[in-house]
Amino acid sequence: MLVHFRTDAYANITMFGDIAVRLLKLAGHSGTVPGAIKAEDVPAALEKLKTGLGVHGAEPQPAPSLTEEEEQQEPPVSLATRAFPLVELLEAAAADQCDVMWDK
């Protein structure tokens, strides 16, 4: 599943569903898709997300035993890195006092 975020203050972004739901929950939302955050609630959601990413965003990845082929693959992407576009979208929405919506 893909989740599409939109607001009048920023370009639309698309994220994988599992990451989007996890980020929405960090922002204090239930994680339901579709959903929305009213303009007056965006700053609080942004702050919760940033706080959650400070705690959870740099989680060290467990060191699984890898095969030689797996060791040659790219390292995993952190949650904080995946959240960057959503953080920017929320910052723009907060600055322009716009609602944020998302759906499948």
Question: Could you give the angle at the alpha carbon of 2 between the alpha carbons of 39 and 57, nearest 5°?
Answer: 70
Q: Are strands 35-37 and 100-103 parallel, antiparallel or unpaired?
A: antiparallel
pLDDT at position 68? 73
pLDDT band at 65 (very low <50, low <70, confident <90, very high): low
pLDDT at 13 over 80: yes
pLDDT band at 64 (very low <50, low <70, confident <90, very high): low
Output the pTM of the full model: 0.81
